[in-house]
Amino acid sequence: MTTTWPEAAPDAIPFRVEGVSVSYGSQVALDRVDLEIRAGEALALVGPSGSGKTTTLRLLNATVEPTAGRVLARGEDLALVSDDRLRQVRSEIGVISQDLGLVPNLRVLQNVLAGRLGRRGFFASLRPLLFPRRADMEEVLALLDRLGIGDLIFQRVDSLSGGERQRVAIARALYQGAKALLADEPFSALDPARARETIELLLGVARENEMTLVLSMHDIELAREYLPRLVGLRGGAVAFDRAASEVERSELESLYRLEA
């Protein structure tokens, strides 16, 4: 099954990665990577551990800075914008990291409300988190209901299952009003059936809300089945970048072949 994707998503964020290298000390994580991501597009970064998937994702919201080259979001070079502008850009990009990054000892409600921290000043953010207004709570509840976890709104996150936490993280990105969603290995902790359920959920949510969706994943079969475009990374470089239907099995195999 290949998902049909709307061509025009005017609000979604387009990204462009131009000749970017990233090194951590002497270790090269990415080596001259070029990547064009259209607004509202969905793609998966695939490749073995250490191939640079996470680094690529983190470039897109400038939580990793390129050693060389540049990264543009909506045409703006993220290395040149002001701190405030960077916060603004980040507040439009939802993140589902491998560890989900939720606050385990806060309730689901607070975790979702925290999605808008980047859009509010310090004092303006205190009230909705400490004493949420009824309207805010209703908005969160509606989101959670759509994701099927409405009755968990007052549960602490550390009492939830892995799948439920995943949905809380998605709800946070939705409440954030994200125009792009970066998800790092969101399915690695889930069993195959739940992984399918979650990928469908993510795709649906991204399409409905006109988000650009960039996923990184291990499971190539799943990626090929659900995502229109695959970018294969190996050793910090792009091995292939094309429509999922055109990716050859041999290319996938060579991606994961161990080096002699």
Partner 1 sequence: MEAAQLGRVPFPVGRRGRVLLAILVAAALSWYALGLSLADVFVAESGRGVLARFLAGAVHPAVTYEAAKVPDGTPPLLLQVVRSIADTIVLAAGGMGLALVLGFVLGFFGASSWWADEGGCGRARWGRFVRCRVLPVIYGAVRVLIVLMRSVHELLWAVLFLAAFGLNSFGAVIAIAIPYGGTLAKVFSEMLDECPRESARSLRAIGARPLQVFLFGLLPRALGDMSAYAFYRFECAVRSSAVLGFFGYPTLGYYLRQAADNLHYREVWTYLYALFLVVLLFEAWSAQLRRRIVLR
Residue 101 engages partner 1 in binding (rule: CB under 8 A) = yes
Q: Interface with partner 1 includes 7 (CB under 8 A)?
A: no
Binding track, positions 139-168, relative to partner 1; x by CB under 8 A: -------------------x----------
CB of 132 to partner 1, least distance (A): 13
What whole-number distance in Å separates Cα of residue 94 and Cα of residue 36?
19
Binding partner 1 (rule: CB under 8 A), the pick from 46, 114, 180, 227 is 114
User: Among 106, 141, 147, 237, which residue sits at the site for partner 1 (rule: CB under 8 A)?
Assistant: 106
User: 179 near 171, Cβ under 8 Å?
Assistant: no
**Sole residue written with tokens 């994701």:** 147
From 82-90, 160-168, 220-228, 245-253, give the range in contact with partner 1 by CB under 8 A.
82-90
84 binds partner 1 (CB under 8 A): yes
For the bound state, the minimum distance from the C-beta of residue 157 to partner 1, rounded and expressed in Å, comes to: 10
94 binds partner 1 (CB under 8 A): yes
202 class by beta-carbon count within 10 Å (0-12 exposed, 13-18 middle, 19+ buried):
buried
Q: Which helix (H) or strand (E) holds 24?
A: strand 15-24
By CB under 8 A, residue 196 contacts partner 1: no
DSSP E strands in 91-144: the ranges are 93-96
Instruction: Please name the residue ranges forming H helices in 9-133.
Output: 53-60, 83-91, 108-113, 122-130
Q: Which of the ranges 8-16, 59-67, 193-201, 230-238 carries the binding residues for partner 1, by CB under 8 A?
A: 59-67
Three-state secondary structure of 196-247: HHHHHHHHHHHHHCCCEEEEEECCHHHHHHHCCEEEEEECCEEEEEEEHHHC
Write out the binding residues for partner 1, residues 123-142 only, by CB under 8 A: 125-126, 129
Distance CA 54, CA 29 (A): 10
User: Footprint of partner 1 on this chain (CB under 8 A)?
Assistant: 61, 63, 65, 81-84, 86-91, 93-95, 97, 99-106, 110, 114-115, 117-119, 121-122, 125-126, 129, 158, 176
